[in-house]
Amino acid sequence: MHIAFEAKRAFNNFTGLGNYSRFVISALKEHYSEEDYSLYTPKVSKREEAKNFYKDNKDITVLPSGLWKAGSLKSAWRSKRIGKLAVKQKADVFHGLSNELPSGLKGSTKKIVTIHDLIFLRYPDFYPFIDRGIYKKKFKSACKKADEIIAISEQTKNDIIDFFDIDAANINVVYQGVHPIYNQDLKTRRLLYLLDQYSLHQPYFLYVGSIEDRKNAKDLVQAFKLVLDQVKHDLLLLIVGKKTDYQKEVEEEINKLRLEQSVRIYNNIPFTELPYLYKGAIASVYPSSFEGFGIPVLESLSTGTAVVTGNQSAMKEAGGEHALYADPKNHEELASQMMKLAVDNEFNEQLIKGVDIHLTQFSSRKIAGDLMGIYKAP
């Protein structure tokens, strides 16, 4: 079977969509190496991760040629040309990994698209008007064109049905997995070294994610203040993520509550160090109001660290029975859940017990198998 991918994000994005694209491609190549694959991308980023991914996949990567290499035509090549190329190369399946499908997909080529979330429709105030219009047109068009739709959670499946009026029978839920770095054997010596490097000499909670309004870092700071008012020992809160305009609001809240010595914000933690920061934490806290899935929940559980997260459906799918849930806007409720993990080591350990069984549904083997079943279904 020849499977073609619209893989721009795999080579040019280094957060959610890029991580998903690289995970899917690598999982399929690992578990179904006998199949043929093609990766279509208009360009390859100069970042090290992209260069390494390209090196591993150079023989199956398709880049623009001739006049299509001109900067102004690369975007048109992606939307107008690659579908025709895939059909010409007799692709049995074309999988758009990031919410879109190109034109030109005809004949016997099976059209599949992954939809990650419809947050721009659920929370329109977080997105510019023009962006919302573009996203809605692209996503809905892809859903209408696709023979099969992959949703990364039951939450996303329900949103596709509600917002785009798509038949549920055409939507398949296939979960995401975490980057392999979170499944490595984390060395105690390396962990202790990093804790010392970051002067983490007291217990800490960890937040990992973009520092943006929807993810409620300011509410987390307010809840953390309630925790500090109740515990007798020192605690830290680490907020790790990409800097945004919203970060200023978080910093102002930290100063207002006089938490400068108790809350730290890091914007440039090396990716390779994140699993260790998860491992060293009392618990991670991811109080997002809404996600298509909630990868930080899985990242934390994969390192054996319990999670407090938002009480929305997708986070419950990711966390199962191994996370605590709270309304992120209810600071007392959020603080109460954090307190349970801060003061009761036995409860903390019980919460994470059996997590390996829970995580099997997000393994590369399981996800690759689910996808291949959809590709090969009549």
**Each residue of 249-260: pLDDT tens digit?**
999 999 999 999
Q: What does the DSSP 8-state code read for residue 245?
A: T
27 neighbors 97 (Cβ within 8 angstroms): no
Q: Among the residues of the chain, which ranges form H helices?
A: 8-12, 16-31, 48-57, 71-76, 82-88, 119-122, 129-145, 154-164, 188-197, 217-228, 246-256, 274-280, 295-302, 313-319, 331-343, 345-352, 355-359, 364-376
User: Is residue 285 classed as helix, strand or coil in its secondary structure?
Assistant: strand
Q: What does the DSSP 8-state code read for residue 293?
A: S
Paired residues of 237 in beta bridges: 205, 263
For residues 41, 45, 51, 53, the Cα torsion angle rounded to the nearest 10 degrees is -40
Give the strand pairing for 236-240 and 263-266.
Answer: parallel
227 neighbors 235 (Cβ within 8 angstroms): yes
- Give the phi and the psi of residue 96 in degrees, each rounded to 5: -80, 110
Displacement of CA 16 from its chain's centroid (Å): 4
> So what's the pLDDT on residue 59?
97
State pLDDT tens for residues 52-83. Answer: 999 999 999 999 988 888 878 888 999 999 99
φ/ψ region of 165 (left if φ > 0, alpha if ψ in -120 to 50, else beta) reads: left
67: CB partners within 8 A, 6+ apart: 73
> So what's the pLDDT on residue 231?
86
User: Is residue 251 classed as helix, strand or coil in its secondary structure?
Assistant: helix
- Nearest partner of 211 among 238, 246, 253, judged by Cα: 246
Q: What does the DSSP 8-state code read for residue 92?
A: S
CB atoms within 10 A of CB 169: 7
> So what's the pLDDT on residue 30?
96
Across the beta sheet with 307-310, what order do the strands follow? 263-266, 236-240, 204-208, 283-286, 307-310, 323-326
> So what's the pLDDT on residue 120?
93
Tokens of 120: 């721009």
- Give the phi and the psi of residue 318 in degrees, each rounded to 5: -75, -40
Tokens of 64: 């623009």
**Domains recognised in the chain with CATH numbers:** 2-177+363-376 (3.40.50.2000), 180-361 (3.40.50.2000)
* pLDDT tens digits in sequence order for the chain, 378 residues long: 999 999 999 999 988 899 999 999 999 999 999 999 999 999 999 999 999 999 999 999 999 988 888 878 888 999 999 999 999 999 999 999 999 999 999 889 999 999 999 999 998 988 899 999 999 999 999 999 999 999 999 999 999 999 999 999 999 999 999 999 999 999 999 999 999 999 999 999 999 999 999 999 999 999 999 999 998 778 999 999 988 999 999 999 999 999 999 999 999 899 999 999 999 999 999 999 989 899 999 999 999 999 999 998 899 999 999 999 999 999 999 999 999 999 888 999 999 999 999 999 999 999 999 999 999 998
Question: How many helices (H) and strands (E) are present in the chain, helices listed first?
Answer: 18, 13
User: Is residue 200 classed as helix, strand or coil in its secondary structure?
Assistant: coil
- Nearest partner of 172 among 244, 95, 101, 242, judged by Cα: 95
182 neighbors 275 (Cβ within 8 angstroms): yes
Please report, for residues 38, 49, 239, 280, 310, the alpha-carbon distance to residue 288 in angstroms, rounded to integers and kept in the order given. Answer: 36, 27, 13, 22, 5
Displacement of CA 276 from its chain's centroid (Å): 18
